[in-house]
Amino acid sequence: MICIDERRGTAAASDVVITMGCGDTCPVFPGKRYLDWQLEDPAGLVAELLG
């Protein structure tokens, strides 16, 4: 997982910014296309179930 707060340069240089449906407020970069992927929180799952 890449936190936008830690990688502002990466998000700012991208054409599309993907959010993960976690409900956190993310910075807005004008002119970017945003997609919200409603992903289930993997916390507590075993690695075999994530692949």
Report pTM.
0.54
Tell me what pLDDT residue 49 has: 65
Query: What's the CA gap between 7 and 29, in Å, rounded?
Result: 12
Q: Given the structure tokens 């994530």, which residue do they identify?
A: 50
Q: Which of 5, 31, 35 is nearest to 17 (CA)?
A: 35
pLDDT of residue 1: 46
d(CA 3, CA 8): 9
Say which residues have a Cβ less than 8 Å from residue 2's Cβ, sequence separation at least 6.
10
DSSP state of 41: P
User: Could you report the average pLDDT of every consecutive run of 10 residues in the chain (51 residues)?
Assistant: 59 83 76 85 71 60
